[in-house]
Amino acid sequence: MNTKRILLGMFVVLVGLSLSSFCNKDDDRNFQVAKNLDIFNAIFKELDLFYVDTINPEKMIQNGVNGMLQLTDPYTEYYPEEEMSTLKEMITGKYGGIGAVIRYYEKKDRIAIIEPVEGMPAAEAGVKAGDIILSVGGKEMVRGDLKPQDFSSKVSDALRGEPGTSFILKVLRPQKNDSTVMEFKLTRKNIRNNPVPYYGMVHDSIGYLSLTGFTDNCSKDVKKAFIELKDKGAKALIFDLRDNGGGSLQEAVDIINFFVPKGKEIVVTKGKIRQAAGSFKTTSEPIDAAIPLAILVNGNSASASEIMSGSMQDLDRAVIIGTRTFGKGLVQTTRQLPYNGTLKVTTSKYYIPSGRCIQAIDYAKKNADGSVARIPDSLTHVFYTEAGREVRDGGGIRPDIEIEGDKFPNILFYLMNDDLIFDYATQYCLNHPEVASIDSLQITDADYADFKKLVKEADFTYDRQSEQVLKTLKEVAEFEGYMEGAEAEFKALEQKLNHNLDRDLDYFSKPIKEQIAEEIATRYFFQRGAVMQRLKDDADLKKAIEILTSPEEYRKILSVQISR
């Protein structure tokens, strides 16, 4: 009896000590929060009162907020009241305006129309890519002291507004030998970016569908396109999620539900607080739970794209083709703040059916300089699909069939950055008022010769990385005393790496021609034209068709058993 009392007493003491320790830790943290908020508030008051110059309170506090957010992750952001339209557009894909992509055009120090959206007010009125914006509603659009990015925001704000409101847009339109000023009366409307810019048959019995973002109600667009493709005879489907940065988790689950039986758990979210935990299951009967599927992904496929591709991989429901995805396994929610501000904050991580989280970067483990690194493959963990195939966490979705992505040559970056491809497309459209179809569009040798002429007349220059690396290597060799014996070799290498624009334009003609053709296709056929042009010579697409036309190979990929 005495022993039991002693043990019970010890238990009560231990529990009391544990609770006391827990409470002490909690109290200490609360004290640290209160203490540092008081310090921050006191410092601001002292600066505002005594600093020699007048400080801008909004700017100073905003910098403090930004510094605080930099200690989290890139997805946790503060949106003040005046930026709420940006957040709303990002979530819904909708805004009130004319439907046109714009960008700063350095040659004119103005804002140019880059791409009118098909079926929207700008395109319907006849506004074209290449038009230079002069004024909006009678107010001239000049940069002044603004930075290019701020100038673009200024013009964008002027173009947007309440649906139903009208204004006059004045532009400078390039002509063959000159330019002419044109005016358009535009009436704003609700603009919704089309998340499915193109879908169609790419083989006798294979459908193709491009999804650019998981915006509100995009599942309805996907459903409509999928049913139409089935009506056209699609017995298999290629889903293109390349360059799809994600969006709504629920929309991703709804689309997965078209191909997966009711009641399947697709995503589980886990966070620090109970409200961050959740489970997302398919809630309806699928449209087609047996149709063979291939999903195309790349390094820019992120978030909801990875939920879809990863879940379909875990459920052995689709063959994933392409390059490893981005690796974003974080979920954000919005929190309302005083004065109509909003905080978009990461509240949880998501886990797909195999139990893995594909987050590639641990932002809680930043280096001293603020940088973060991807989780190395050696530290990832093995999980298994329903069929027993081995998959891993911690680094995006690794495709079932990996295809090396095309390399983006340095010269192409500078050609695009200097708007030379954009300018050539404008010139091409002036010389070719109509193009019969995407199939008939091709960049001939004569066309490319015209492009090279334009580039040379522009006195185009660009940084050659090989020359920069060689220069650095020479400096290191001299510093370490190896230059004397290697001088001849360096000189020979310099001659071989000599800057030669003609040689580079010819050597990289294939990717440059492809980029030119895509820009021109967008001018005539909008976003669907750009997608169709890219598909003409697409290694991922070819591989998907190859797999889907071979039922035995398709089944083999999805049923391989990995020994444990």
Alpha carbon distance 220, 254 (integer Å):
9
Alpha carbon distance 383, 392 (integer Å):
6
Task: Write out the two tokens for 445.
Answer: 């040798």
* H or E element, residue 209: strand 206-210
In Å, what is the CA distance from 167 to each residue of 122, 136, 157? 12, 7, 13
Cα 405–Cα 409–Cα 410 angle in degrees, nearest 5: 140
According to the 3-state scheme, what is the secondary structure of 221-282?
HHHHHHHHHHHCCCCEEEEECCCCCCECHHHHHHHHCCCCCCCCEEEEEEECCHHHCEEEEC
Q: What is the pLDDT of residue 19?
A: 47
Alpha carbon distance 438, 434 (integer Å):
11
In Å, what is the CA distance from 11 to each residue of 18, 23, 25, 305? 10, 18, 21, 51
Q: Using CB atoms within 10 A of its CB, is residue 90 exposed (0-12), middle (13-18) or buried (19+)?
A: middle
Alpha carbon distance 332, 350 (integer Å):
10
Q: What DSSP line would sit under 282-302, residue for residue?
A: --S--S-SSS-EEEEE-TT--
Output 76-79 pairs: Cβ under 8 A, ≥24 positions apart. Answer: 76/332, 76/343, 76/344, 76/345, 76/346, 77/343, 77/344, 78/337, 78/341, 78/342, 78/343, 78/344, 79/341, 79/342, 79/343, 79/344
Alpha carbon distance 290, 223 (integer Å):
16
Q: Using CB atoms within 10 A of its CB, is residue 350 exposed (0-12), middle (13-18) or buried (19+)?
A: buried
Alpha carbon distance 246, 243 (integer Å):
9
Q: What is the pLDDT of residue 454?
A: 96
Alpha carbon distance 554, 564 (integer Å):
23
Task: Name residue 271's beta-bridge partners.
Answer: 348
Q: What is the pLDDT of residue 5?
A: 55
pLDDT in single tens digits along all 564 residues of the chain: 555 554 444 444 444 545 455 557 778 889 999 999 999 999 999 999 999 999 999 999 999 999 999 999 999 999 998 888 888 888 888 899 999 999 999 999 999 999 999 999 999 999 999 999 999 999 999 999 999 999 999 999 999 999 999 999 999 999 988 899 999 999 999 998 899 999 999 999 999 999 999 999 999 999 999 999 999 999 999 999 999 999 999 999 999 999 999 999 999 999 999 989 999 999 999 999 999 999 999 999 999 999 999 999 999 999 999 999 999 999 999 999 999 999 999 999 999 999 999 999 999 888 877 788 888 888 899 999 999 999 999 989 999 999 987 788 989 999 999 999 999 999 999 999 999 999 999 999 999 999 999 999 999 988 766 667 767 877 787 777 777 777 777 777 766 666 688 989 999 999 999 999 999 999 999 999 999 999 999 999 999 999 999 999 999 999 975 444
Phi, psi of 358 (to 5 degrees): -100, 10
Q: What DSSP line would sit under 413-463, residue for residue?
A: HHHHHTTHHHHHHHHHHHH-S----TTT----HHHHHHHHHHHHHTT----
Alpha carbon distance 167, 98 (integer Å):
10
Q: What is the pLDDT of residue 13?
A: 47
Q: What is the pLDDT of residue 226?
A: 98
Q: Is 318 helix (H, G, I), strand (E, B) or coil?
A: coil
Task: Write out the two tokens for 161.
Answer: 């507004």
Please measure the distance between the N-terminal and C-terminal CA atoms of the chain and give it in whole angstroms.
52
Q: What is the pLDDT of residue 464?
A: 65
Q: What is the pLDDT of residue 482?
A: 76
Looking at residue 94, its amino acid is K
Q: Report CA Rg, the chain.
A: 29
If one counts every other C-beta atom within 10 angstroms of the C-beta of residue 24, the result is 10
